[in-house]
Amino acid sequence: MRVLVLTGAGVSAESGIPTFRGKDGYWRNLDPAKLATPEAFARDPKLVWEWYRERRQRIRSARPNAAHAAIAKLAQHADEFLLVTQNVDDLHARAGIAKEKMVQIHGDIFVTKCSRCDFLDTGRGGSPEPPTDRAAVPVERGRLRSIAPTSEDIVDLPYCPECDALMRPGVVWFGEQLPWKELQRVENYLDRGASDVVIVVGTTATFGYIVDWALRASPEGVRGELIEVNPEETQLSQFATQLVREPAAIAMPHLVDTILADHRTP
């Protein structure tokens, strides 16, 4: 059985991680869509880093839910499996999805990368976290500098150890291109043929490439399933062969068990 799963923010929301477009997504009354941009970072890197530090801490405190566990179970039993997630958190990985079976198409919030060169810190965000005192101290390979616009407003920003430019979160911001290597992994999967099952779960399918990948993985004329799991209608709904109008954590365990039973070798 060949399976493609595409997940969005609705999956992580059930672990307590706010979505960008939901009413709980605002931070300090600021629209996150206006913080997750290169322009916002250039204008106020301190503010953007404060937001990402809080997001990282919230993710660290969250736990994978039943949807994450069900997808991991499906990955274990499929002959060929690929998860393409728009989520930048590590909940799919903590649920047991191996790196080689997962594409984080919007990046990884726990990666810190240079805003100028190719340097990456692939730890769990250690470099840019504030030190225990207010002095600038080295952490891992990156460096922190204390800057104090006012005496009440001191922040430590990470700088690249290779070129001395500001480091930034390793995510894809609005207006930026998707990572080429990850795109190639998706294309390589699609080029190998149609999927028996495509599941699109917890995403509004706002980005056209999500709809495109789902449709290309289950082309017309090939027997297969295109299942959408979402409480609300999306741009993909009209193409789905099965609509599951329940939250992911409720729907996925039963759905995965049904799929595995239907495709079990006699």
- Report the CATH fold assignment for 1-17+63-106+177-266: Rossmann fold (3.40.50)
- 211-230 pLDDT, tens digit per residue, is 999 999 987 655 579 999 99
Q: How far apart are CA 251 and CA 138, in angstroms?
A: 46
Q: Is the pLDDT of residue 151 over 60?
A: no
Total residue length of the chain: 266
- 49-77 pLDDT, tens digit per residue, is 999 999 999 999 999 999 999 999 999 99
- 35-56 pLDDT, tens digit per residue, is 889 999 999 999 999 999 999 9
From-to residues of CATH 3.40.50.1220 in the chain: 1-17+63-106+177-266
pLDDT averaged over every residue in the chain: 85
At residue 106, the 3 state secondary structure works out as coil
CB contact set of 97 (below 8 Å; sequence gap of 6+): 71, 72, 75, 83
Question: Residue 20 — pLDDT band, cuts 50, 70, 90?
Answer: low
Higher pLDDT, 137 or 70: 70
pTM, rounded to two decimals: 0.85
Q: How far apart are CA 263 and CA 197, in angstroms?
A: 10
The phi and psi torsions of 171 (rounded to 5 degrees) equal -120, 165
From-to residues of CATH 3.30.1600.10 in the chain: 23-61+108-171
Architecture of domain 23-61+108-171: 2-Layer Sandwich (3.30)
- 88-120 pLDDT, tens digit per residue, is 999 999 999 999 999 999 999 999 999 999 999
Q: Is the pLDDT of residue 143 over 90?
A: no
- 192-213 pLDDT, tens digit per residue, is 999 999 999 999 998 999 999 9
The phi and psi torsions of 42 (rounded to 5 degrees) equal -65, -35
The active-site residue out of 68, 92, 106, 263 is 106
Q: How far apart are CA 200 and CA 216, in angstroms?
A: 13
Task: Give me the percent of the chain exceeding a pLDDT of 90.
Answer: 73
106 is catalytic: yes
Q: How far apart are CA 66 and CA 29, in angstroms?
A: 31
> Which of 201, 218, 198, 244 minimizes the C-alpha distance to 68?
201
The alpha carbon dihedral of 102, 230, 225, 209 has a sign of negative
